[in-house]
Amino acid sequence: MNQPNVNPLLDLSGLPRFAAIRPEDVEPAVVQTLAANRVAIEQLLHDVREPTWDNFIQPIEDMNERLSRIWSPVSHLNAVMNNEELRKAYNACLPKLSAYSTELKQDERLYRAYKAVAARADFTALSAAQQKIIDNVLRDFRLSGAELSDVDKTHFKAVVEELSVLHSKFDENLLDATNAWELLITDEAELAGLPDTARAAARAAAERDGKAGWKLTLHMPSYLPVMMYADNRALRRQLYEASVTRASELGPHAGQWDNGPTMTRILQLRADEARLLGFPHYAALSIETKMAESTEEVLAFLNDLVARSRPAAQKELTELRTFAAERFGASELEAWDIPYYSEKLRQDRYAFSEEDLRPYFPEPQVLTGLFEVVRRLYGLEVREVKGAELWHPDARFYEIRDSAGTLRGRFYLDLYARPHKRGGAWMDDCMSRKRDAQGVQVPVAYLICNFSAPVGKDPALFTHDEVTTLFHEFGHGLHHMLTLVDYAGVAGINGVKWDAVELPSQFMENWCWEKQALDVLARHYQTGATLPEALYQKMIAARNFQSALQMVRQLEFSLFDMRLHSDYNPGGEQTILQLLETVRRDVSVVIPPAFNRFPNSFGHIFGGGYAAGYYSYKWAEVLSADAFSKFEENGVFDRRTGEEFLHAILEQGGAAEPMELFVRFRGRKPKIDALLRHSGLAA
């Protein structure tokens, strides 16, 4: 039974007590835990003369896992239920956590102890997972400045602390700038072309504010339909400009949440961090924890894809311009016209629109279908569990059991966009698997999306793109939850090389295109009819519509990220935007207007963990497409192939090198052929 006077964050007897957690609980829980850890580590260093896994490393692993469990619900709530008090408490703890982490990784006594365990004659008797944890920690000691002079250690620690605060500041500015903008439309004629689902959602949003009319926002379920369908060009431009100037010195809230200075400072600090550790630039430091061998290998990989896809992208853009001019008399295409006329061209060429699919993807059927797909592939049963403490009425809780009835994982699901919730979609770790004297701790994940919510009495109706996003995040979730590794440091997603972590997620997306999967995924929300064959064929025909344009857009982001962290000087004369312009000249075919401030909202690299790692999406896409090609050969629901993927990839976590695991599954190293074929670029 929970004690009412105990800080709920310190109660680790079960799942997080979301209903009880208050902002004022956060800092005391973190301060108390860090203090207790420091005392315990000093005790270990004093008492243990001959460190081993059992007497030294396991106790530290347990401390790390406990701290992670205490911080996880705080970080999660800050992302999904952001408010001023929680934000203040969260930000107060970031420097404390950063200082603690750096302090441990710079402690020469700890470093010596880990090296002593690695040098023991019985090191090879440890499991592969234990050895991998020690190897990873020794690497992290080096990358955290353990071998620096005392002066440089102090400097390094200050750099890392400031970075942790600035990453959070970047995300907060972006969230505030996104939430601050809204537009109330009072004349429905201005919404001509907008689908009924988008109009209904806009009307419901206005009604929630007690207003008449239609409320538009910069959240994706509101923004995207306007860009794709609204006949009102001025309206499209208004939303586009508000979106691409978020958190910048321009736009409707010019300068109010400007991320410009934050970005420059982040880049300066990252360059400083790399220099202190002896790397030529931050990208080289980043590569130390990746599958790729060097920044040169990554740049060659990206530039090869540019060479393969850019001519096709130029052709696609020329086709779009010709179509818009001949059919609609559009003399020029601006950035806010391209999604609109692209959708018109798609409908013209394939008699198909994303909106045609939406009635076939009601949320209850999509979830039932997703769970059926994983049952057929891996023999897993997913069911909802009532009674768990949740942070919002929209959130739900589920468990996964294998064919023997063993509980393998549990997860929270929070699907809809709302104010004070970070944009995008993600999976995060709530609890990791570990085995101790009490038994196995079952892994728990958060699966978070920002989809269109239900309107009126109808269920939420998803786009095919939203269904694909759900499968993507569920792939991450399966990677975290199905692990059989018994040590938290490399269980699930922990310890997985960053450019391999997208393999299980992108792999799952493939089933969203397969008729056998769609037959269980897609049912008309009114009639219950499956997706008609004719509509499916149109969807498949349109699958690679403008795929080269989409490819070069991702390559632009990836090369910008790598260049920003390798050959860009944050103190030099060239600005971040000027660097982006040079990348676009080499890569892009669509050049946005001068007021576009894309970097100011590039949360992946300035707020998230993708700095000098955005290329991971394309890198892992090669792995995932090639892995799926084995199912194409054997049958998309071939159980034997599913179990091979489960055992070789999903259950292994970060306990082995990703390439070794891929070869174990595929029987060879990855080839790029499947990616090019899936993208329509094979020719």
What is the Cα 76 distance to its own chain's centre? 13
Q: Which residues are catalytic?
A: 473
| Residues 6 or more apart whose Cβ sits within 8 Å of residue 182 | 215, 216, 217
* Residue-level pLDDT at 345: 98
* Residue-level pLDDT at 5: 77
CATH of domain 8-175: 1.10.1370.40
Find the helix or strand (DSSP H, E) in which 498 lies. Answer: none
Tell me the two tokens of residue 220: 């994706």
Give the CA distances from residue 365 to residues 356, 426, 520, 581, 683, in Å, rounded to whole numbers and listed in that order. Answer: 17, 21, 8, 44, 37
Max intra-chain CA distance, the chain: 82
Using an 8 Å Cβ cutoff, are 571 and 300 in contact? Answer: no
Closest CA to 450 of 502, 410, 413: 413
- Collect the ranges in the chain with pLDDT lower than 70: 1-4, 683
Closest CA to 90 of 12, 34, 22: 22
Strand residue runs (E) in 324-388: 381-384
Ordered DSSP codes for 115-143? HHHHHSTTGGGS-HHHHHHHHHHHHHHHH
The amino acid present at 222, given as its one-letter code, is: S
Q: How far apart are CA 283 and CA 302, in angstroms?
A: 14
Closest CA to 385 of 401, 398, 370: 398
Judged on CB neighbours under 10 Å (0-12, 13-18, 19+), 236 is: buried
Closest CA to 4 of 31, 23, 22, 27: 22
* Residue-level pLDDT at 2: 56
Tell me the two tokens of residue 14: 């079960």
Average pLDDT of the chain, as a whole number: 97
* Residue-level pLDDT at 519: 97
The amino acid present at 386, given as its one-letter code, is: K
Q: How far apart are CA 335 and CA 240, in angstroms?
A: 8
Query: What predicted TM-score, i.e. pTM, was given to this entire model?
Result: 0.96
* 521 three-class SS: helix
Task: Tell me, yes or no, if the two domains 8-175 and 359-543 fold the same way.
Answer: yes
* b/e burial code for range 656-675 (CB count within 10 A of at least 16 → b): bebeebbeebbeeebebebb
* 266 three-class SS: helix
Relative orientation angle of helices 128-143 and 84-105, to the nearest 10 degrees: 100
* 161 three-class SS: helix
* 1 three-class SS: coil
* Residue-level pLDDT at 682: 83
CATH of domain 359-543: 1.10.1370.40
Q: What are the residue boundaries of the structural domains of the chain, listed by start?
A: 8-175, 181-244, 359-543
Q: How far apart are CA 389 and CA 46, in angstroms?
A: 41
